[in-house]
């Protein structure tokens, strides 16, 4: 049933209910706005349903399986360790269900109206929201676009059958015997290593000279070494060219230094990046929203579209890293800006995390970044092998590297590879955000024995007075 031509009034229309959109909607409602959030799929977006959360659930299961198989290091014998992958998928699906139901409860509790459907803009401050049953029209004072992104599909490797995107890879109902991954970035590395731990023979084809090319090479070497231990073959400086699939397997042709090669596997996983969801029938042109040549919305320091001040954009559809926590942060800023608060985006302390084994994380500037900006730096590393907790967990591989401004000792960056790197990076992000110095970290009493001590020890290394390693 269509609700006439009369428009219903709303303060803020949020398009997309992922980690950017639902957070923006909640913050806007907390600030007194009448909010409508629209999404054609499930609450939580890609992150909760087809990305961050389900992948981490499967990665955790793979760790449990590997730990059980290798418990003899602790003097524990475990025989006939088996995987019931249907139950593993059930565990993953239950995690997703709990998280998405939680989002629904939060939106309801904050009196955010939810519409399951799509949006089509009519003009700069009106939009039709519709599904199979209704199509009301809304006039909004402001709109926050949070439509996210989707996997990039390459013409030689169209998704379907045995050629998978990350979405289909997370829904596999059996553990593949073999898998080829095109793209050794964070998605390919995480999913490839997860399946390898379950017993899949994995080959990663990467165009750069290392997996995880955006990270420090000292970090990626440790990840590559760990991958190779579980039998992953990493082919670098390679170009994937074509694929032919049957109902049983897929054969991939690729080249390395001009030499043609091919490999056959049960499945092919293509993870070469993500594309912003700003195309299709959304009608951003009718809303007066200007895009750049990559399909990203041009925004100012508050997320406001430079071409239509009534419309804001956040997350994967604006410049910067495609990170769920970046989207959530930008969502809060946009909602607060709409409410008249002086909030602006500041990306100096946004962490990047990869849930490989070992985990990788970084925040702030690397030494190279800082030097390119003309900042005199000093840095130091502390190895996990010198930390009592890491050793007692039988996880001694890794290090934390701290980067500080040489003139005032302000902490400006960190890179961590090792167990729980994803959690350890938060202390350094806070240090950068609050303008902490090396002394602030080294003089903070850290509980013993914990992995958190690594931050204190790394700060002491940079200061030139480490306790638990010999200063060189």
pLDDT tens digit string along 401-419? 999 999 999 999 999 999 9
User: Are 218 and 288 part of one and the same domain?
Assistant: no
pTM of the model: 0.95
User: Are 17 and 147 part of one and the same domain?
Assistant: yes
Among 323, 417, 412, 428, smallest CA distance to 372 is for 412
Confidence class of residue 160 from pLDDT cuts 50, 70 and 90?
A: very high
Cα dihedral: 412, 417, 421, 422 (round 10): 80
C-beta of residue 426 within 8 angstroms of C-beta of residue 349: no
Q: How far apart are CA 467 and CA 90, in angstroms?
A: 47
**Residue 405 within a domain:** yes
- Tens digits of per-residue pLDDT, 425-465? 999 999 999 999 999 999 999 999 999 999 999 999 999 99
Across the range 124-150, mean pLDDT stands at: 96
**Residue 157 within a domain:** no
Confidence class of residue 2 from pLDDT cuts 50, 70 and 90?
A: very low
Domain ends where: 222, 241, 272?
272
User: Are 312 and 378 part of one and the same domain?
Assistant: no
Q: How far apart are CA 244 and CA 63, in angstroms?
A: 33
Measured CA to CA in angstroms, residue 298 lies from 125, 288, 454 at distances of 18, 11, 40
- 188 labelled as ligand-binding? yes
Confidence class of residue 469 from pLDDT cuts 50, 70 and 90?
A: very high
Measured CA to CA in angstroms, residue 458 lies from 353, 364, 443 at distances of 19, 16, 12
Does position 263 have pLDDT exceeding 50, yes or no?
yes
Does position 4 have pLDDT exceeding 60, yes or no?
no
C-beta of residue 299 within 8 angstroms of C-beta of residue 330: no
Does position 271 have pLDDT exceeding 70, yes or no?
yes
Phi-psi region of 212 (alpha: psi -120 to 50; beta: other; left: phi over 0): left
Measured CA to CA in angstroms, residue 446 lies from 193, 278, 389, 430, 452 at distances of 33, 46, 12, 15, 7
Say how many domains are in the chain: 3
Across the range 302-312, mean pLDDT stands at: 98
Q: Which residues of 211-225 are buried (b: 16+ CB within 10 A; e: fewer)?
A: bbeebbeebbebbbe
Q: Look up residue 352 and give its two tokens.
A: 């990047």
User: Are 167 and 222 part of one and the same domain?
Assistant: yes
**Residue 183 within a domain:** yes
The percent of residues in the chain predicted with pLDDT above 90, rounded, is 96
Q: Which of 142, 301, 448, 468 is catalytic?
A: 448
Domain holding 85: CATH number?
A: 3.50.50.60
**Residue 346 within a domain:** no
- 105 labelled as ligand-binding? no
User: Are 34 and 124 part of one and the same domain?
Assistant: yes
Does position 3 have pLDDT exceeding 50, yes or no?
no
For 407, other C-beta atoms within 10 Å of its C-beta total: 10
Mean pLDDT across the chain: 96
User: Are 225 and 364 part of one and the same domain?
Assistant: no
Q: How far apart are CA 268 and CA 203, in angstroms?
A: 10
User: Are 102 and 189 part of one and the same domain?
Assistant: no
446 among known catalytic residues: no
Print the domain residue range for 448: 352-463
pLDDT number for residue 471: 78
pLDDT number for residue 130: 95
Domain ends where: 272, 293, 325?
272
pLDDT number for residue 5: 65
User: Are 17 and 146 part of one and the same domain?
Assistant: yes
Q: How far apart are CA 232 and CA 417, in angstroms?
A: 19
Does position 40 have pLDDT exceeding 60, yes or no?
yes
User: Are 281 and 266 part of one and the same domain?
Assistant: no
- Tens digits of per-residue pLDDT, 368-412? 999 999 999 999 999 999 999 999 999 999 999 999 999 999 999
Domain ends where: 247, 272, 297?
272
User: Are 60 and 206 part of one and the same domain?
Assistant: no
Among 308, 303, 306, 298, smallest CA distance to 278 is for 298
- 439 labelled as ligand-binding? no
Q: How far apart are CA 239 and CA 221, in angstroms?
A: 21
Q: How far apart are CA 120 and CA 286, in angstroms?
A: 9
Q: How far apart are CA 22 and CA 145, in angstroms?
A: 11
User: Are 24 and 142 part of one and the same domain?
Assistant: yes
- 225 labelled as ligand-binding? no
- Tens digits of per-residue pLDDT, 273-305? 999 999 988 999 999 999 999 999 999 999 999
- 189 labelled as ligand-binding? yes
- 160 labelled as ligand-binding? no
Across the range 337-343, mean pLDDT stands at: 97
């Amino acid at each position: 049933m269509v609700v006439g031509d009369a428009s219903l009034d709303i303060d803020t229309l949020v398009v997309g209910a992922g980690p950017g959109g639902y957070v923006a909607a909640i913050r806007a409602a907390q600030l007194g706005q009448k909010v409508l959030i629209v999404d054609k799929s499930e609450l939580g977006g890609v992150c909760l349903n087809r990305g961050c959360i389900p992948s981490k659930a499967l990665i955790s299961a793979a760790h449990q399986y590997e730990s059980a198989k290798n418990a003899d290091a602790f003097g524990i014998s475990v025989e006939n360790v088996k995987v019931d992958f249907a139950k593993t998928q059930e565990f993953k699906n239950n995690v997703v269900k709990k998280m998405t139901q939680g989002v629904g409860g939060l939106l309801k509790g904050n009196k955010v109206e939810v519409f399951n459907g799509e949006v089509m803009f009519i003009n700069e401050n009106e939009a039709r929201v519709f599904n199979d049953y209704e199509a009301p029209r809304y006039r909004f004072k402001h709109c926050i676009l949070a439509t996210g992104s989707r996997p990039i599909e390459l013409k030689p490797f169209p998704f379907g059958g045995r050629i998978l995107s990350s979405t289909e890879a997370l829904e596999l109902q059996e553990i593949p015997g073999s898998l080829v991954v095109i793209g050794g970035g964070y998605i390919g590395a995480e999913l490839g290593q997860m399946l390898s731990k379950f017993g899949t023979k994995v080959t990663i084809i990467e165009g750069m000279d290392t997996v995880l090319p955006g990270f420090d090479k000292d970090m990626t070497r440790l990840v590559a070494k760990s991958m190779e231990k579980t039998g992953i073959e990493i082919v670098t400086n390679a170009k994937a060219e074509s694929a032919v699939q049957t109902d049983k397997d897929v054969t991939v042709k690729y080249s390395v230094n001009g030499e043609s090669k091919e490999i056959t596997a049960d499945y092919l996983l293509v993870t070469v990046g993500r594309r912003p969801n700003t195309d299709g029938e959304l009608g951003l042109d009718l809303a007066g929203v200007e895009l750049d040549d990559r399909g990203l919305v041009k925004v100012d320091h508050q997320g406001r579209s430079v071409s239509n001040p009534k419309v804001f954009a956040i997350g994967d559809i604006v410049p910067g890293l495609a990170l769920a926590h970046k989207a959530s942060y930008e969502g809060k800023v946009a909602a607060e800006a709409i409410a008249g608060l002086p909030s602006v985006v500041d990306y100096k302390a946004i962490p990047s995390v990869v849930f490989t084994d070992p985990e990788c994380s970084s925040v702030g500037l690397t030494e190279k970044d800082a030097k390119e900006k003309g900042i005199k730096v000093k840095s130091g590393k502390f190895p996990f092998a010198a930390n009592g907790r890491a050793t007692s967990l039988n996880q001694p591989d890794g290090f934390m590297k701290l980067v500080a401004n040489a003139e005032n000792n302000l902490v400006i960056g960190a890179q961590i590879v090792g167990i729980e790197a994803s959690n350890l990076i938060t202390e350094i992000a806070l240090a950068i955000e609050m303008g902490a110095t090396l002394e602030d970290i080294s003089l903070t009493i850290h509980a013993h024995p914990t992995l958190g001590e690594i931050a204190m020890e790394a700060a002491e290394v940079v200061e030139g007075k480490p306790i638990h390693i010999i200063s060189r």
